[in-house]
Amino acid sequence: MEEYLCLTDLLDNDLTSYEYFYALTEELQEEIRRQDLRSFQEMQAFAESRQQS
């Protein structure tokens, strides 16, 4: 699992993460920004857990 310095770094350097992030709702994007997740796997797991609750 590749980790980046911050969420911005992740989105700038990983196309899969960028596409996934911007396909999410704005509310979920804001929650992810607050968490400052640094890998696609972390972001995906967080988004899935929030969508289930």
Residue 43 lies inside a defined structural domain of this protein? yes
Residue 29 lies inside a defined structural domain of this protein? yes
Cα dihedral 14, 19, 20, 24 in deg (nearest 10): 140
Residue 1 lies inside a defined structural domain of this protein? no
Domain total for the chain?
Answer: 1
pLDDT tens-digit readout, 1-53: 788 999 999 999 999 999 999 999 999 999 999 999 999 999 999 999 998 87
Query: Domain range spanning residue 28?
Result: 7-52
Residue 2 lies inside a defined structural domain of this protein? no
Question: Whole-model pTM?
Answer: 0.89
Give, rounded to a whole angstrom, the gap between the first and last alpha carbons of the chain. 26
Are 34 and 6 spatial neighbours (Cβ–Cβ below 8 Å)?
A: no
